[in-house]
């Protein structure tokens, strides 16, 4: 569904590329995570996947990037809207503000796509239901909590039924409850609608729980591409400045202090950790 | 925190009129207030047209409160400035070199009545019309939709910006910035107060633009709309009639057909 | 036409409502600071300086409608033309290097203030009978007492208050422009 071949991008006036020689593929219906330290290029990659690079941010491109069979560089933002969805951190900036109700805000994308009114109504209702916003439809978008606003931002994209959904740290401004709400929604989406999802995220535990595969980015380069269990417990990610989960850290410290392990893998989640320490012997 | 508009949702016939019909009604009152030659007639527009309309729309208390709150500073200033400085013969009160004259008071009353009519007509329109429906009506008639976006978004983000301004004010005060004291100190306090607010607003614009682009804002081709506005043939006829009456009033005034 | 299209990119379209919100948020904040300034066109001047005269004019124009719609200052629509011209002037000062030096920006602000005062006076005099219903009416009374007629007194009042306000506004925007990376600025103007 997403395919990059030797893709590189440099922002105008910079000498270092922000994305450098990336090649990978994301199969349809998969849930992918994207991790990397600050400045690694996660946001840049998200923008490129959604066509904001090169159609909104200019710069120098090389290699190829296709999403849903579309050559991004040859397309336009108008054509890509509705096929590739993009969600990012700050809900306040994503809410257009030009609609006075949650329903109206969700409908905006479909109105721009010229979808007939009856169909808009159906799709909006369905999406509100799916995102748990059905009871808030007539509220002002600005009267919602942070978690609700971020679900509204996601709903406003989902309503266009994109084949691919790109999310750039969508939970970084949310509390654990808001974060759980967002992940529950994404999980359901991948399961039921076979949407292909790629999410940049600092909260590794969530990636461990939900994703099929994780990409590791550092200084614009792809360092690893594999299942969360292997990639996220690899000491490599700590070396580049990504903090492993507290379970991985605890197990690593325990081993350093002489804990003898039967398993060779490090735990990623609470459940892993319980099994891990059950097996361990001093 | 809600959108800072005057709109009051009410279940009234007036509320359910097409926004352009309301606009025509209000336009009629404004043009009448500006062109009628006699002060009393102008006051009659307020008493006999605007107030009954407000009552019909079930917003009379709010209408009276807003329009009177708005008009009294004008009334006061006009009475003093026109009363004392407009030329006239009939002296009512002599205060040293200054004299309060009847002609000045009459002029002040005339201006006050005209300002009252047009400002309260605008207020009435806002009390009974949702801004988003007004913009939708205008967009349907060919106003560029970017204008609707700009006005409605500005309205809705104001509270957030006011809140940010307050936060910056508080934090700068906590750091010892002088917002009290003499004038020079207060002026010097302005730059560190407003610069962070403006700079941070500029830096988030890319996200706002991208969010719109992701939703097809610049897509070529026709648009549809979730909401529809109900319009009727009588309303459309009324709007045309209002337009003609407004033009006649302006013409009559300009040609001097209407005199006191 | 080309200039118009360049000025109204999506970036400008999202800038304008933010600029209008800045006018209103800062304008109402300054009221409480008890300084003899308004700063209620600071966003409009920002758009003019950053993007150009057309975008500046549109911002001033629409800001007047928003002031009216909020109910905070319904009479704003009477001044819509003046507000648009302030934005257009802030944009016009982009040619020449008026925005390059702090003292030139202050000079540009003073000029804008004088023009705004001259254009505002007839509106105050003929639409509002020479008053605004605010503290500056005391100045109008003072100038009337010196023998000026209503138009003259309003112009004199404007020339006393407006240029200072616009000079401070332009100076703050000069400081903002200096703080912004050049590449970002270039993206606004499309130059
Ligand atoms: N508009 C831009 N112009 C020039 N350089 C940019 C721009 N945006 C980002 N960069 C640079 O590109 C690199 C990658 O930035 P990016 O924002 O993609 O990183 P990130 O992984 O998302 O970081 P974070 O975790 O902080 O969000 C950084 O060196 C950054 O300074
Ligand atoms: Mg980022």
On whether both B243 and B199 belong to a single domain, the answer is: no
- Partners of B156 on chain A (C-beta within 8 Å) are 97-98, 100, 140-142
**Å between B148 CA and nearest CA of chain A:** 7
- Partners of C134 on chain B (C-beta within 8 Å) are 73
In what order do the strands lie in the sheet containing A84-87?
A: A84-87, A164-168, A196-200, A31-35, A213-218, A221-226
Q: Does residue C119 lie within any of the structural domains?
A: yes
**Domain count for chain C:** 1
**Angstrom distance (rounded) from CA A17 to CA B11:** 60
- Partners of C179 on chain B (C-beta within 8 Å) are 195, 199
Q: Does residue C191 lie within any of the structural domains?
A: no
Each of the 282 residues of chain A gets a pLDDT tens digit; together they read 999 999 999 999 899 999 999 999 999 999 999 999 999 999 999 999 999 999 999 999 999 999 999 999 999 999 999 999 999 999 999 999 999 999 999 999 999 999 999 999 999 999 999 999 999 999 999 999 988 999 999 999 999 999 999 999 999 988 898 899 889 989 988 888 889 999 999 999 999 999 999 999 999 999 999 999 999 989 899 999 998 888 888 888 887 787 766 666 778 888 887 877 777 665
Per-residue DSSP letter, A260: B
Structural domain range at position C25: 2-186
Instruction: HSE, CB side, 13 Å, CA atoms: give it for residue A148.
Output: 16
Tell me which of A51, A84, A100, A155 to substitute to probe the interface with B (most B C-beta atoms closer than 10 Å).
A100
Q: Which of A160, A200, A233, A224 is nearest to A46 (CA)?
A: A200
Is there a contact between C162 and B106 (Cβ–Cβ < 8 Å)?
no
On whether both B165 and B253 belong to a single domain, the answer is: no
| CATH of residue C102 | 1.10.1760.20
Residues having CB within 6 Å of any atom of ligand 1: A 11, 14, 18, 36, 38-44, 57
Q: Does residue B60 lie within any of the structural domains?
A: yes
State pLDDT tens for residues C131-174.
988 888 999 999 998 989 999 999 999 999 899 999 999 999 99
On whether both B122 and B157 belong to a single domain, the answer is: no
On whether both B196 and B241 belong to a single domain, the answer is: no
On whether both B239 and B125 belong to a single domain, the answer is: yes
Contact residues, B window 176-215, toward C, CB-based 8 Å cutoff: 179, 183, 186-187, 189-191, 193-195, 197-199, 201-202, 205-206, 208-209, 212-213
Contact residues, A window 120-159, toward C, CB-based 8 Å cutoff: none
Q: How much is the ipTM here?
A: 0.95
On whether both B73 and B94 belong to a single domain, the answer is: yes
- For residue A135, what are its two tokens? 């009871």
- Partners of A12 on chain C (C-beta within 8 Å) are 183
Q: Does residue B67 lie within any of the structural domains?
A: yes
> In testing the pocket of ligand 1, which one of A15, A42, A45, A203 has its CB within 8 Å of the most ligand atoms?
A42
Tell me the three-class secondary structure of A78-127, residue by residue: HHHCCCEEEECCCHHHHCCCCCCCHHHHHHHHHHHHCCCHHHHHHHHHHH
A49 CA from centroid of ligand 2 (Å): 14
Nearest-10 crossing angle of helices A117-130, A146-158: 140
On whether both B18 and B69 belong to a single domain, the answer is: yes
Per-residue DSSP letter, A266: P
Q: Does residue B223 lie within any of the structural domains?
A: no
Q: Does residue C104 lie within any of the structural domains?
A: yes
**Domain count for chain B:** 2
- For residue B35, what are its two tokens? 């062109």
State pLDDT tens for residues C5-52.
778 999 999 999 999 999 999 999 888 777 788 999 999 999 999 999
- Single pTM value for the model: 0.94
Instruction: Give the closest residue (by CA) to ligand 1 atom 31.
Output: A39
CA angle, A199 then A203 then A207, to 5°: 55
Structural domain range at position B193: 142-214
**Angstrom distance (rounded) from CA A76 to CA B211:** 15
**Angstrom distance (rounded) from CA C168 to CA B195:** 12
**Å between A121 CA and nearest CA of chain B:** 7
On whether both B123 and B12 belong to a single domain, the answer is: yes
CATH class of A2-228: alpha beta
Could you state, in order of their start, the residue ranges of all structural domains in chain A?
A: 2-228, 245-282
Instruction: Give the closest residue (by CA) to ligand 1 atom 3.
Output: A11
In this complex, the residue of A56, A97, A116 whose CB is nearest that of residue B210 is A56
Q: Does residue C71 lie within any of the structural domains?
A: yes
B92 touches chain C (CB under 8 A): no
């Amino acid at each position: 569904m997403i395919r990059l071949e030797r893709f590189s991008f440099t922002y105008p006036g910079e000498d270092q590329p922000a994305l450098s020689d990336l090649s990978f593929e994301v199969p349809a219906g998969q849930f992918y995570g994207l991790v990397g330290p600050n400045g690694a290029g996660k946001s840049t990659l998200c923008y490129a996947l959604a066509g904001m690079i090169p159609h909104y941010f200019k710069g120098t491109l090389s290699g190829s990037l296709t999403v849903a069979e579309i050559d991004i560089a040859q397309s336009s933002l108008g054509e890509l809207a509705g096929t590739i969805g993009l969600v990012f951190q700050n809900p306040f900036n994503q809410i257009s503000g030009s609609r006075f109700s949650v329903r109206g805000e969700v409908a905006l994308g479909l109105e721009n796509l010229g979808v007939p009114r009856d169909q808009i109504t159906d799709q909006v209702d369905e999406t509100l239901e799916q995102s748990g916003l059905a009871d808030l439809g007539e509220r002002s978008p600005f009267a919602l909590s942070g978690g609700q606003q971020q679900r509204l931002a996601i709903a406003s994209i989902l309503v266009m039924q994109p084949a691919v959904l790109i999310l750039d740290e969508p939970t970084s401004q949310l509390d654990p409850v808001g974060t759980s709400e967002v992940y529950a929604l994404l999980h359901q989406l991948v399961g039921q609608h076979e949407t292909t999802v790629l999410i940049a995220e600092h909260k590794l535990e969530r990636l461990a729980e939900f994703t099929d595969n994780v990409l590791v980015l550092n200084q614009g380069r792809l360092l690893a591409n594999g299942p969360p269990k292997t990639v996220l417990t690899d000491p490599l990610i700590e070396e580049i400045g990504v903090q492993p989960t507290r379970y991985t850290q605890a197990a690593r410290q325990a081993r350093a202090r002489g804990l003898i392990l039967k398993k060779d893998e490090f735990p990623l989640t609470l459940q892993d950790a319980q099994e891990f320490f059950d097996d361990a012997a001093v | 925190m809600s959108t800072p508009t005057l709109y009051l949702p009410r279940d009234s016939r007036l509320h359910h009129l097409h926004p352009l019909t309301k606009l025509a009604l209000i336009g009629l009152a404004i043009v009448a207030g500006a062109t009628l030659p006699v002060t009393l007639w102008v006051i009659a527009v307020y008493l006999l047209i605007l107030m009954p309309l407000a009552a019909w729309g079930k917003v009379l208390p709010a209408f009276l409160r807003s329009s009177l709150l708005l008009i009294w500073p004008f009334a006061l200033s006009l009475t003093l400035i026109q009363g004392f400085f407009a030329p006239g013969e009939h002296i009512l009160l002599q205060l040293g070199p200054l004299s309060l004259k009847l002609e000045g008071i009459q002029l002040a009353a005339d201006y006050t009545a005209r300002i009252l009519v047009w400002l309260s007509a605008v207020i009435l329109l806002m009390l009974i019309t949702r801004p988003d429906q007004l913009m939708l009506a205008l967009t349907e008639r060919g106003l560029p939709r970017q204008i609707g976006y700009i006005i409605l978004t500005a309205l809705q983000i104001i509270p957030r910006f006011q809140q940010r301004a307050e936060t910056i004010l508080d934090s700068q005060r906590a750091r010892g910035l002088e917002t009290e004291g003499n004038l020079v100190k207060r002026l010097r306090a302005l730059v560190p107060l407003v610069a962070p607010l403006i700079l941070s607003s500029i830096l988030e614009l890319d996200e706002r633009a991208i969010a719109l682009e992701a939703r097809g804002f610049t897509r070529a081709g026709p648009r549809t709309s979730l909401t529809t506005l109900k319009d009727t043939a009588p309303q459309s006829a009324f709007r045309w009639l209002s337009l003609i009456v407004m033009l006649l009033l302006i013409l009559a005034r300009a040609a001097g057909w209407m005199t006191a | 036409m080309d200039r118009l299209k360049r000025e109204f990119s999506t970036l400008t379209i999202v800038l304008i409502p933010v600029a209008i919100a800045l006018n209103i948020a800062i304008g109402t904040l300054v009221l409480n600071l008890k300084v003899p300034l308004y700063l209620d066109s600071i966003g409009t001047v920002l758009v003019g300086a950053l993007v150009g005269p057309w975008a500046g004019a549109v911002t001033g124009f629409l800001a007047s409608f928003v002031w009216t719609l909020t109910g905070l200052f319904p009479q704003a629509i009477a001044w819509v033309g003046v507000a648009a011209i302030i934005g257009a002037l802030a944009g016009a000062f982009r040619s020449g290097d008026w925005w390059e030096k702090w003292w030139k920006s202050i000079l540009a602000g003073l000029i804008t203030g004088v023009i705004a005062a001259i254009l505002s006076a007839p509106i105050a005099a003929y639409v509002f009978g020479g008053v605004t219903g605010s503290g500056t009416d005391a100045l109008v009374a003072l100038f009337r007492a010196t023998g000026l007629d209503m138009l003259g007194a309003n112009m004199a009042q404007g020339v006393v208050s407006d240029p200072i306000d616009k000079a401070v506004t332009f100076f703050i925007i000069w400081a903002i422009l200096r703080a912004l990376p050049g590449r970002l600025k270039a993206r606004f103007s499309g130059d």
